[in-house]
Structure 1
Amino acid sequence: MDNAKSPLLGFAAFSGTGKTTLLTQLIPHLTKTGLNLGIIKQSHHNFEIDKPGKDSYRLRSAGANTVMLVSPYRRAIITEFNPTIEPKLDDQLKVLDQSYLDLILVEGFKREQFPKIELHRPILKHPLIYPNDPSVIAIASDQQITRPANLKLLDLNDIAMIADFIINRFIRISS
């Protein structure tokens, strides 16, 4: 990824495996160590973060391709893709202010090549991703699974274990 200025780690799994749930549990463990995190989440659905009647919605509806909404607390940039495009992770990294980030966690973009932890729940009967994705560096599962020796097995229910793996693998080596 040419535009990754901070370490990048993805979470890859089939829908319904618990990627967002894991991230919402993992983020507090990582931020309590003082890390500044960025998150990029890919959605395959049309989403709306603006609300009808709000000024930013009205400006975009009037034809603005990009609207930046800024307050003393946060900033949001809404960009219309016209025509619609399949987003590429490296393009999203280009517009993300990474100057203060220690680590960027990515949910989605599983077909792109960057370090990923695969989430796997055997009960869901989905195939493993790692055999077709050489960028998978670890598997987080709620059961023991057979895997190559070079892939670390993490307990999907042990958030502290996963956080320690991430810190040891991505933060210490990049310092």
Structure 2
Amino acid sequence: MRVIGLAGWSGAGKTTLLAALIPWLRKRGVTVSTIKHAHHAFDVDKPGKDSHTHREAGASQVLVSSAQRWALMTELRGAPEPGLPELLAHLAPVDLVIVEGFKRDPHPKIEVHRAANGKPWLHPEDPAIRAVASDIPPPGPLPHVALDDIPAIGALALEHATLWKG
């Protein structure tokens, strides 16, 4: 599997970009998985469902399966948050894993920047950022494409993704 990240401040458009980029890649025969880092508590389960009851009762992991999909939920219960390498090890093999978040990790990344956010650029402090997708030109020599140029962003993602050796 090859890995590329999308890094940027909240509100820069990372999720919107991913929603357009994934179908573009799939139309070109690239299998894609994603890892999204959340900075807050979240829950994909619903109270009243059996899986939620199992988790609330103390199960460390709950796997839910149907004819359409399966999901594995793991409760950390005070254990440290797993790092990106450990999370990547849980994924089934695909051509490309796109990581949204984990902006401080050393995997190769494309910075997603929106001027209206008023936030500083990430790439001057992060040598793992290999290119920029933004609505204004970035300072410095990194390759730059427009935020809405999905073919150009896709090409950069494929060019800069590196092999994950898990």
Structure 2 residue aligned with 1:123: 116
- 1:167 deviation in Å? 3.2
Distance in 1 (alpha carbons) for counterparts of 2:160 and 2:123: 18
Structure 1 gap ranges (5+) = 1-5
Say which SS state the counterpart of residue 164 (structure 1) adopts. Answer: helix
Structure 1 residue aligned with 2:15: 20
Distance in 1 (alpha carbons) for counterparts of 2:56 and 2:114: 42
Structure 1 residue aligned with 2:88: 93
- 1:70 deviation in Å? 1.3
My pick for the range that moved more, 28-37 or 155-164, is: 155-164
Structure 2 residue aligned with 1:153: 144
Distance in 1 (alpha carbons) for counterparts of 2:138 and 2:129: 15
Pick from 65, 73, 76 the counterpart of residue 71 of structure 2: 76
Structure 2 residue aligned with 1:107: 100
CA contact (8 A) 2:131 2:156 kept: no
Distance in 2 (alpha carbons) for counterparts of 1:146 and 1:132: 12
CA contact (8 A) 2:108 2:130 kept: yes
Distance in 2 (alpha carbons) for counterparts of 1:110 and 1:164: 21
Distance in 1 (alpha carbons) for counterparts of 2:108 and 2:160: 11
Say which SS state the counterpart of residue 161 (structure 1) adopts. Answer: helix
Structure 2 gap ranges (5+) = none
Q: How do 1:18-57 and structure 2 match up within 5 A?
A: 18-57=13-52
My pick for the range that moved more, 161-170 or 114-123, is: 161-170
My pick for the range that moved more, 35-44 or 52-61, is: 52-61
Per-residue CA distance 1:72-95 (angstroms, 9 max, x = gap): 221100000010533311111122
Distance in 2 (alpha carbons) for counterparts of 1:125 and 1:62: 45
CA contact (8 A) 2:110 2:157 kept: no
Distance in 2 (alpha carbons) for counterparts of 1:92 and 1:66: 15
Aligned length, in residue pairs? 164
Distance in 1 (alpha carbons) for counterparts of 2:98 and 2:122: 18
Distance in 1 (alpha carbons) for counterparts of 2:29 and 2:115: 34
Distance in 2 (alpha carbons) for counterparts of 1:95 and 1:167: 22
Distance in 2 (alpha carbons) for counterparts of 1:170 and 1:48: 30
Distance in 2 (alpha carbons) for counterparts of 1:37 and 1:77: 19
Distance in 1 (alpha carbons) for counterparts of 2:79 and 2:16: 29
Q: TM-score, normalised by structure 1?
A: 0.87
Distance in 2 (alpha carbons) for counterparts of 1:108 and 1:94: 17
Structure 2 residue aligned with 1:3: none
- 1:164 deviation in Å? 2.5
Distance in 1 (alpha carbons) for counterparts of 2:39 and 2:127: 23
